Amino acid sequence: MKTRAFLFSIAMFGSTVAAFHALADVEVAPVPMEGVTIAVENVPVELRSADPTDKRIGKLIYRGGVSIVPQDDRFGGLSGLRVSAEGSRFVAISDVGNWTTGTIQYDAHGDLTGVADIAVSPLLGADGQSLHGKDEGDAESLAFLNPFGLVGPAFVGFERDHRVLRYDFTVDGVKAKGQLVPLPEAVKSLRNNSGLEVLATLPDGRLVAIAEEGPKGDDDDSPAWVVNPDTGDAVSFTIKRVLPYSLTDATLLPDGRLLVLERRFAPTTGPGAELRVYDPATFTEGAVVEGDLVAVLFAGVTVDNMEGLSSRQTADGKTLIYILSDDNFQRPLQRTLLMMFELAE
């Protein structure tokens, strides 16, 4: 029995490692062109289950969160997130080539209590055909032209086939066709599963595009660009990584700083995440930039494979941060978590 238990433990570790690092093995049924609506259950989660009253972590205050449990296996793999300016709606993308949209629910205190009205639709290419699957549809990052809402064209970053597509989301929504955005040639040299995990929009309409990891190895710093999405003109710089974390998303804060989400995983310690802020004024040609730590989500804290990040400002001036996890379609080993925090510096 001890041998069996040990082998089972090894198998569980192997499955979890695969969930983070071998996503191409996951088979997910394609979504029809007309999309599907999906019922979900919202399971509340505390920041610290051992002490639910302790809601402070770093410079953040926990304002509620849920584990989203779908009734349809086509929901999941969420890798990029944007929340509407007033906080009522969200748009996410999946790494098997889908849009996921829905509404966000709050209690009387404004704390997050759940999601509803979930719909999943295929991302489309320029030809109007579905991008389903890993080869063409491994979508990892999402940004809108308006950095503080779901307004204007949407930009979706892909890895494996490294590119960014522009979608006229305000006009056509999830039925929009993707149009290729000009990018620096160096983007094509990124590694197969370490592409443009991060997209964010600056107030002047330029995109910040950052690779998950470097082009040569897991421990390399992340190449990054500030790109004019109309012309492809770009400034190239480097984000100094804090190992073992890799970059997974970013959002512009109301004060003009860029908040970046990072994640880590090891079979002996499980998942973890960090948040750091950067001054976009430091994103100059050839610069190597370092961020300031905001918070660490690790041991003793609810966390999973955190890949989506968005922010907004409330009517009374508070900055709210939303963090979303990618379950890699590996339920119940992993969860889709949506957690909300208030930035309190």
CB neighbour class for 3 (10 Å; exposed up to 12, middle 13-18, buried from 19): exposed
- Alpha-carbon distance of 299 to 60, in angstroms, equals 16
Question: What DSSP string describes 249-306?
Answer: EEEE-TTSPEEEEEEEEETTTEEEEEEEEE-GGG--TT-EE-PEEEEEE-TTS----E
Residue pointed to by tokens 């999943």: 120
Residue 10, pLDDT score: 35
Residue 25, pLDDT score: 55
Collapsed DSSP state (helix, strand, coil) of residue 337:
strand
Nearest CA to 337 among 38, 43, 111?
43
Each residue's pLDDT, cut to its tens digit, for the chain (345 residues) gives: 333 333 333 334 444 444 444 444 578 899 999 999 999 999 999 999 999 999 999 999 999 999 999 999 999 999 999 999 999 999 999 999 999 999 999 999 999 999 999 999 999 999 999 998 788 889 999 999 999 999 999 999 999 899 999 999 999 999 999 999 999 999 988 877 778 999 999 999 999 999 998 877 788 899 999 999 999 999 999 999 999 999 999 999 999 999 999 999 888 888 999 999 999 999 999 999 999 999 999 989 999 999 999 999 999 999 999 999 999 999 989 999 999 999 998
| Inter-residue contact 183 to 225 (CB < 8 Å) | yes
Domain total of the chain: 1
Range of the domain at 24: 2-343
- Alpha-carbon distance of 209 to 164, in angstroms, equals 9
Q: List CB contacts of 165: < 8 A, sequence separation 6 or more.
A: 123, 125, 126, 155, 156, 158, 178, 179, 180, 181
Q: CATH no. for residue 32?
A: 2.120.10
Question: CA-based angle 206:318:300, to the nearest 5?
Answer: 95
